[in-house]
Structure 1
Amino acid sequence: MPDPQALNLWLEVDGKRYQDGTTAKMIFDVATIISYLSNFMSLQPGDVISTGTPPGVGMGVKPEPVYLKAGQTMRLGIEGLGEQTQKVVQA
């Protein structure tokens, strides 16, 4: 990964793009987050660090919030890392 602070990331629900951002807008850069967490735990290859999400989450959609419903399909990706697709199921 040449520069973890220059990755595009996005999320679509049923083909509609709700989130489109970049890691350049993170409050703390990747190196700082890894350094900080390494003070408290041993990080291993494959560990996932949840850092938040770009603007566009459902509760912030105007004029009416948008929430996921059973049967919808989410597709998300991070440039250089890949994509994944998930189907929403009823809890």
Structure 2
Amino acid sequence: MITLVALRRLLAGNNPYKYISEYESKRGMNFFTDIRDWLGGYPYQSVSDQELQLFMGNQGFSLVSKKNTEPCRGLLGTACGEWVFRKN
């Protein structure tokens, strides 16, 4: 997994050593611990933006903001969607 992260950084024109060495100060978590935790999340089930908003609306919540909710493809580069809801 670490090799894939490094390769992705290299192909994007970035320095993988710098990314790993600065990771903790930027993300607040050790790079190697984060990789292990990330792998431990598989398998998982995704939800679409519309499905989540409908579900939360039915629970009495309204959307406040959202980020990274558009579908995308890519190995180690799909990011995580973020939604903020408020109870009505």
TM bin (shorter chain): under 0.3
Structure with a larger share of its residues in helix: 2
Structure with a larger share of its residues in strand: 1
Question: Rg larger in 1 or in 2?
Answer: 2
TM norm structure 1: 0.26
- Return the structure number with greater relative CO, CA threshold 8 A, min gap 6: 1
